[in-house]
């Protein structure tokens, strides 16, 4: 019997797709991700001996590892095909080590690819590589560093604040950003200011302008009396056009997606969380059955490079010319700079074939897959299209010491806007002006004063937080989604209408860590550590030295915190008016692993606990309260009178009450309407848009 070549990938979906490409001479198996890792129960790092990690087989993966070794022993050779990044390299290294312990003479090689297509897979098999030990060392350094931080900080938080908490480098720095922003918002003092808009006309055609200058200075109107005084002055003047400039502007398309940019646009345009975006992208990458074949529709989705292959560049330029014409293809390809410190192992995220348009594959995709694939396809195609061209006209109208200004843009050539983007950038207005010339007289029709107040900085959304982390150099594309998921899971932050707010637990945790471990929450320090890990991969720095330098400063800080940090246990407990029906005490609002609940302070004598009421049950005539419940790992909402009342809802209740029946309103996504607030009282059925309630 002829021996086969064993190919080991990370996921079963990827194994299924690749198996179809390679044929009967190959066997493709999945490791299900990391098969070896540090144990959860102990430090498992020899800090006295070069920080060598003590790896064990991940719980539940023992049978998988044994099968891989058994099949390797029967194979001609082994090709390790985990993802082409630090984590993937480490996975391959661990599998290689495990196999060689049992079969020391078997030939093991590494293959890498950026997309799961027949051509890419067969090409990678023809050009096998060796394990890149610098990538492995960079991953090892990151894993050990994060284990040291977590091992010493988490128990400290358990001891001083609450069991079940955790701390980490990227996690703690991200939490501090969110908490600092909330402090800015709370401490912000609004300042009054006024603006004046004027409506002028020429030949009976009206147009709107904005008060621009007074006595050659930018106007500062701080109150109503100042504004009224100025309005009287402005009313007296006669006005004419004193300056008119028309220039041509170009607008360049944006680069194809990196991971963080995909997460940002997916959040802003599609409303997907970062975690959801990455899960959907994973399915598009690993393979979709499109009728005649199963194929990866996009390239690898964890990348911070904007580079695309020469082949993909030729294909997209040919496609643009055939679809839109020669004028939509720039003479030279559009070029984009990678941000400083980016990894260039992978291309940007793009469709594996530009000919697989969103419309042509729509019938094979779920609605979410279709939306994300369409976003990726359009961004990639538009990135290599010609610039958009505008004609921008700026007009200044003067009367006495006052100058009003208006800018109007007209599209001359849409270019890439045929595929992706909006005609006007944020803040621009498509104002149609009458035919104006310098020195033309204009009639003042209206003066409209508007009172405003300065606003605090906005809370972070997932998109804006990812953008800030990326700009600051904190973490890597693969870390953003799991970091946010962890912060929410630990109840450090919560989502409220797409905004990220710190909880009281998050604020207190951040306060303690920031006070005693300022480096851990420092964006600058965390970004510096990322740079050092990059240097390990580039063979410019020894991974052990990074850990020695960090550990020598970290341990004295831990000892100081153990001695000086105040005991904050029960600091978040809050007495309520809710009476325990078993012993009569006033119940206490406590924080558990799934959020707040009510508990009797008489514990352990009285062990009564119950969910916090979130409002009245929406069922007409029911006197029960709406409470949060859990089914497996998912939260839902039900009536406290169950089983007498069987009301349940997966939709989350809002803090708003129905204006008609006073029952709670629930957040709900409705096709064609987007996110709405809906009343679930069958006799009411009130609805309003989410924006109206904001």
Separation between Cα atoms, residue 75 and residue 7, nearest integer Å:
10
DSSP letter string over 550-589?
A: HHHHHHHHHHHHHHHS---TTTT-EEEEEEPTTT-PEEEE
pLDDT 10s digits, 341-383:
555 567 999 999 999 999 999 999 999 999 999 999 999 999 9
Query: Residue 656: what pLDDT?
Result: 84
Which of the residue ranges 277-286, 306-315, 570-579 would you say has the lowest mean pLDDT? 570-579
∠ Cα 64 65 69 (to 5°)? 120
Q: Does 300 participate in catalysis according to the annotation?
A: yes
Please, what is the average pLDDT of the chain? 91
Q: What is the mean pLDDT of residues 233-259?
A: 95
pLDDT 10s digits, 602-658:
888 898 988 888 888 988 888 898 988 877 667 889 998 898 999 999 888 888 889
Which of the residue ranges 117-121, 180-184, 436-440, 577-581 would you say has the lowest mean pLDDT? 577-581
10 Å Cβ neighbour count for 272?
A: 24
Long-range contacts of 502-509, Cβ-Cβ distance < 8 Å, separation of 24 or more: 502/175, 502/178, 502/179, 502/182, 504/572, 505/162, 505/165, 505/572, 505/591, 506/175, 506/178, 506/179, 507/179, 507/182, 508/161, 508/568, 508/571, 508/572, 509/157, 509/161, 509/165, 509/167, 509/175
Residues with Cβ within 8 Å of residue 666, at least 6 apart in sequence: 618, 649, 651, 652, 653, 654, 677, 678, 679, 680
Q: What is the mean pLDDT of residues 433-439?
A: 93
Query: Residue 1: what pLDDT?
Result: 63
Are 469 and 178 in contact, with CB atoms under 8 Å apart?
no
Query: Residue 426: what pLDDT?
Result: 52
Separation between Cα atoms, residue 38 and residue 149, nearest integer Å:
14
Sign of CA dihedral 258, 260, 264, 270: positive
| Global confidence as pTM | 0.84
Per-position b or e across 520-531, b if 16+ CB within 10 A of its CB: bbbbebbbebbe
Q: Is the pLDDT of residue 290 over 60?
A: yes
Separation between Cα atoms, residue 408 and residue 410, nearest integer Å:
7
Are 397 and 447 in contact, with CB atoms under 8 Å apart?
no
Query: Residue 344: what pLDDT?
Result: 54
Query: Residue 604: what pLDDT?
Result: 86
Query: Residue 496: what pLDDT?
Result: 81
Torsion of CA 437, 443, 445, 450, to 10 degrees: 60
Strand partners, 188: none
Query: Residue 691: what pLDDT?
Result: 57
Q: What is the mean pLDDT of residues 589-596?
A: 77
- What's 616's DSSP letter? B
Residue linked to tokens 């009569």: 584
pLDDT 10s digits, 198-238:
999 999 999 999 999 999 999 899 999 999 999 999 999 99
pLDDT 10s digits, 108-164:
999 999 999 999 999 999 999 999 999 999 999 999 999 999 999 999 999 999 888
Strand partners, 76: none
Q: Which of 21, 239, 285, 300 is flagged as catalytic?
A: 300
Query: Residue 267: what pLDDT?
Result: 92
């Amino acid at each position: 019997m002829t021996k086969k070549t064993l190919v080991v990938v990370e996921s079963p979906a990827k194994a299924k797709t690749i198996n179809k490409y390679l044929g009967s001479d190959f066997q493709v198996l999945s490791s299900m991700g990391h098969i070896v890792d540090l144990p959860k129960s102990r430090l498992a790092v020899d800090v006295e001996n070069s920080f060598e990690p003590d790896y064990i087989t991940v719980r539940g993966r023992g049978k998988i590892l044994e099968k891989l070794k058994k099949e390797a022993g029967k194979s001609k050779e082994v090709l390790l095909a985990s993802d082409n990044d630090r984590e993937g390299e480490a996975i391959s290294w661990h599998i290689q080590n495990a196999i060689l312990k049992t079969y020391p003479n078997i030939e093991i090689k590494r293959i890498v690819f950026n997309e799961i297509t027949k051509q890419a897979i067969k090409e990678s098999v023809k050009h096998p590589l060796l394990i890149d030990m610098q990538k492995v060392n960079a991953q090892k350094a990151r894993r050990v560093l994060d284990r040291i931080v977590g091992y010493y900080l988490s128990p400290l938080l358990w001891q001083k604040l609450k069991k079940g908490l955790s701390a980490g480098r990227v996690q703690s720095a991200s939490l501090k950003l969110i908490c600092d922003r909330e402090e800015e918002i709370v401490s912000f003092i609004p300042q009054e200011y006024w603006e004046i808009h004027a409506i002028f006309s020429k030949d009976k055609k009206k147009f709107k302008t904005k008060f621009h200058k007074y006595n050659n200075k930018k106007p500062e109107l701080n109150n109503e009396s100042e504004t009224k005084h100025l309005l009287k002055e402005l009313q007296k003047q006669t006005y004419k056009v004193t300056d008119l400039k028309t220039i041509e502007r170009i607008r360049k398309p944006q680069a194809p997606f990196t991971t963080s940019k995909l997460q940002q646009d997916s959040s802003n345009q599609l409303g997907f969380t970062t975690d959801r975006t990455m899960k959907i992208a994973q399915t598009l990458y690993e393979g979709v059955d499109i009728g005649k074949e199963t194929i990866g529709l996009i390239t690898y989705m964890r990348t911070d490079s904007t580079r695309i292959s020469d082949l993909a560049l030729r294909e997209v330029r040919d496609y643009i010319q055939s679809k839109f014409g020669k004028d939509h293809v720039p003479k030279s390809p559009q070029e984009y700079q990678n941000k400083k410190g980016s990894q260039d192992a992978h291309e940007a995220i793009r469709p594996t074939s530009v000919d697989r348009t969103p419309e042509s594959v729509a019938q094979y995709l779920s609605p979410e897959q279709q939306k994300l694939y369409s976003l990726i396809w359009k961004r990639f195609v538009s990135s290599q299209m010609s610039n958009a061209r505008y004609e921008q006209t700026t007009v200044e109208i003067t009367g006495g010491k006052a100058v009003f200004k208006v800018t109007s843009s007209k599209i001359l050539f849409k270019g890439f806007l045929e595929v992706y983007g909006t005609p006007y950038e944020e803040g621009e207005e498509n104002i149609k002006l009458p035919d104006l010339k310098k020195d033309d007289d204009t009639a003042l029709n209206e003066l409209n004063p508007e009172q405003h107040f300065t606003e605090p900085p906005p809370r972070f959304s997932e998109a804006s937080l990812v953008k800030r982390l990326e700009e600051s150099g904190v973490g890597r594309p693969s870390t953003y989604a799991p970091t946010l998921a962890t912060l929410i899971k630990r109840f450090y932050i919560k989502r409220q209408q797409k905004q990220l707010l710190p909880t009281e637990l998050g604020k207190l945790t951040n306060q303690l860590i920031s006070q005693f471990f300022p480096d851990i929450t420092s964006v600058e320090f965390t970004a510096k550590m990322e740079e050092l890990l990059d240097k390990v991969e580039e063979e410019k720095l020894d991974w052990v030295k990074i850990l020695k330098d960090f550990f020598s400063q970290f341990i004295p800080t831990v000892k100081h915190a153990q001695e000086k940090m105040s005991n904050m246990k029960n600091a978040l407990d809050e007495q309520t008016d809710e009476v325990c029906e078993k012993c009569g005490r006033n119940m206490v609002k406590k924080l558990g692993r799934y959020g707040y609940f009510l508990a009797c302070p008489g514990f352990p004598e009285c062990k009564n606990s119950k969910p916090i009421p979130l409002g009245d049950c929406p069922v007409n005539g029911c006197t029960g309260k709406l409470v949060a419940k859990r089914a497996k790992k998912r939260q839902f909402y039900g009536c406290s009178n169950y089983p007498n009342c069987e009301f349940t809802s997966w939709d989350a209740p809002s803090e708003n009450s129905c204006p008609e029946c006073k029952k709670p309103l629930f957040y709900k996504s409705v096709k064609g309407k987007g996110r709405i607030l809906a009343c679930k009282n069958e006799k009411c059925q009130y609805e309003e848009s989410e924006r109206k309630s904001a």
